Amino acid sequence: MFSDILNFLFNGTLNGAVLSLIALGYSLTYGVGHIMDLANGAYVMVTGYLLLWFLKFIPGLEIVSVIIAIITVTIIGGLSYLLLIKPLQHTQVGVVLITFALAFFIEQFVLIAYGTTTYSIKNYIAIGGFTEVFEFKMINQFIFLIIVSIIVVSLFALFINKSKLGKSIRAVSQDREAATLMGINSNRILLYTLMISAYLASIAAVLYLPAAAISGPSMGWGFLTNSFAVVIL
């Protein structure tokens, strides 16, 4: 009975740790630029497939593959703003439609390349085994994920509150017009915001997917809806 309670608490904490990273980026883009980025879940999915590809063609250099995948997805987030969102940022409906189209395009592209097969990523995080508490076994890698998520969220809070860029992001979120009059380039801030959001989604993917699995190109929608629920609640 007690082990069932621990199982419930641990799985809830694990899911919360993953979704908190994705939801943090989602809430950042909406809070700063009122941008409802529906491609946020697709960034998690595409990170997984990029890892799958890089680990295949760069064997033995797992950390390099992880770094390249994160950088690639971060750049995709920035390009999505420059090429798609920026021209339509004054109409929320347009932004919703274009980001949905981007997510759908990424999904279909991956579907053509990999199909609907479930893939497992090579576990590059050298943390194996279990930790047993009251007859309940917790996967050590999931414990590591929770700890890293807490660290990332804490560092992000420090970044937003203490750094010059973080203060500029807060200024634009509070009053974009006033921030522009004070010399802050709001378009550049929104670009950085989209890149940070994609970066956080890719971090969630590289931590979670090696211990889970890539269930298919449509997996991004599940992450999107769950993170959206986290933001709303």
Q: 112-157: per-residue pLDDT in tens?
A: 988 888 888 766 666 667 777 777 777 777 888 888 889 999 999 9
Residue 233 domain-assigned (yes or no): no
Residue 112 domain-assigned (yes or no): yes
Residue 71 domain-assigned (yes or no): yes
Residue 127 domain-assigned (yes or no): yes
Residue 63 domain-assigned (yes or no): yes
How many domains, in total, are found in the chain?
1
Residue 143 domain-assigned (yes or no): yes
Q: 200-233: per-residue pLDDT in tens?
A: 999 999 888 877 778 888 998 988 888 888 887 6
* Residue partners of 4: CB distance under 8 A and separation at least 6: none
* Amino acid at the residue 126: A
Residue 111 domain-assigned (yes or no): yes
End-to-end Cα separation, the chain, in angstroms: 29
Any idea of the CA torsion for 53, 38, 81, 113, to the nearest 10 degrees? 30
Q: 167-202: per-residue pLDDT in tens?
A: 999 999 988 888 888 889 999 999 999 999 999 999
Residue ranges making up the domain that contains 184 = 2-228
Rounded distance, CA 209 to CA 32, Å? 29
In the chain, which residue ranges form alpha helices assigned H by DSSP? 2-33, 40-57, 62-80, 92-114, 140-162, 164-174, 176-181, 186-208, 219-232
Residue 176 domain-assigned (yes or no): yes
